[in-house]
Amino acid sequence: MKILAIETSCDETALSIVEALEEGVDIRFSEIKSAINSQAKLHSEFGGVFPNLAKREHSKNFIPLLSKLLNDQSVESIYIDNPTKKHAMEILERYPDRAEDLIEFAVKNKPTDIDYIAVTQGPGLAPALWVGIVFARVLSLIWNIPMVGVNHMEGHIVSVLGRSNKNTDVKLPSLALLISGGHTQVVKVSSWGQYEILGETQDDALGEAYDKVARMLGMSYPGGPEVSKRARLLREQGVSSIYELPRPMANSKDLRFSFSGLKTAVLYKIQEIEKEFNQLDEEKINHICLAFEDSISDVLIKKLSIALANENYQSLIIGGGVIANQHIRNILSNFANENNLEILVPSQDHATDNAVMIGIAGYFTIKRSKPAVAPDIVANGNMSL
Ligand code: KG4
Ligand code: ZN
């Protein structure tokens, strides 16, 4: 089965063709081709993702990316009748400046071997999600290919199946930790497609906390990678942080997280240092980054230990943009070893938002739902697993 996957929930416009190959009872996924455009630089001047800018950029970049994705694939020209064209124009009503181009492109470039289309339905920024959904519906309509709406968080869970040496033959139940810019969740994966949220953040997501701390320290969005780079600098010298930050909710005995207090603690620490020394030098900034990362590392391990005490898990899945962080990968991998858990991690480019994970989640969605041609899918910014 070949799936064209579309992801526009935040600041990445991502398209992929993913193939699902059945190997006995197991499925192996392979990435045939991807095309992605990140808007991170554009949003950095706003200090975060600006929804209407994201929407504009997704709709501007969609056709060039689709063209790149299909340029070496087998495509054919098809005929479009007037009622279908009219219907497509109606779906594209809010994108008048893209409508003609998208319809013309679709008519000239129908892929000959795509079985389904999968598009992120939520959670995410509604204006951004709508672009993917509307454009996917038009392709589905003109190409007469059935489609499904996919949960982005299921995407982050199954992103670990995007590795070439992996298939669905994973020991379950699995404990999944999802840490991204929008979410921090601990999820029980009983089977592929069956998920239960065990706990989540009560306020900021972990990636959001990284980005806010980075911003307070004068770094540009998204600041997660810069904060972790600075923490690593000290860690590699064997230096411990001269500062100590709280471990919010580490002792709450449940799986709830909270990172907004930690962010405030960082703010107070910065104010305290500025008062004492008049300024924040590079060295002190690095020490704050290290103290922050030590704090969140402790919290993550504490919460995972609580989850393990409650149930006999066989494996640990980690997903979400923050997993691009090597230190967090290391501590989670050590934790898995110590607890005899098989660990599943996405590759670096499947950790942050991408369409391969949407294609894989699309496969499971297709199996449990009824794909249809251009269904009335509604963007759901708060979609839950
Ligand atoms: O999953 P993702 O790409 O988008 C959402 O669905 O939110 O996650 C983006 C988040 C951002 O907050 C970014 O700062 C964080 O992942 N991130 C990192 C690193 N790389 C990306 N955080 C810490 N260390 C990193 N190396
Ligand atoms: Zn994400």
- Position 205 scores a pLDDT of 97
Whole-number Å distance between alpha carbons of 142 and 33: 22
Average pLDDT of span 4-15? 97
Which runs of E-coded beta strand occur in 45-172? 75-76, 110-111, 116-122, 147-151
CA neighbor of 42 nearest in space, from 56, 22, 24, 63: 56
Q: Which residues contact 93 (CB under 8 A, 6 or more apart)?
A: none
181 Cα–ligand 1 center, Å = 5
Taken as a whole, the chain contains a residue count of 385
Sheet holding 315-319, edge to edge: 194-200, 184-191, 174-179, 315-319, 342-344
Q: Atom 2 (ligand 1): residue with closest C-alpha?
A: 321
pLDDT tens-place string over residues 251-282: 899 999 999 999 999 999 999 999 999 989 99
Q: What is the torsion angle, in degrees rounded to the nearest 10, for the CA atoms of residue 258, residue 123, residue 365 and residue 168?
A: -40
Residue % of the chain over a pLDDT of 90? 95
* pTM, two decimal places: 0.95
Angle between helices 224-236 and 206-216 (to 10 degrees): 80
pLDDT at 180 over 80: yes
2 Cα–ligand 2 center, Å = 23
Q: Which atom of ligand 1 is nearest to the CA of 229?
A: 26
180 lines ligand 1 (CB under 6 A): yes
Contact call for residues 145 and 117 (beta carbons, < 8 A): yes
pLDDT tens-place string over residues 82-141: 999 999 999 999 999 999 999 999 999 999 999 999 999 999 999 999 999 999 999 999
Contact call for residues 11 and 40 (beta carbons, < 8 A): yes
Mutate to test the pocket of ligand 1, among 213, 220, 289, 322 (most ligand atoms within 8 A of CB): 322
pLDDT tens-place string over residues 50-85: 899 999 999 999 999 999 999 999 999 999 999 999
133 Cα–ligand 2 center, Å = 17
CA neighbor of 177 nearest in space, from 365, 10, 346, 358: 346
126 Cα–ligand 2 center, Å = 14
Average pLDDT of span 199-215? 96
Q: Atom 16 (ligand 1): residue with closest C-alpha?
A: 321
320 lines ligand 1 (CB under 6 A): yes
- Ion ligand 2 — residues with CB under 5 Å? 180, 353
375 Cα–ligand 1 center, Å = 32
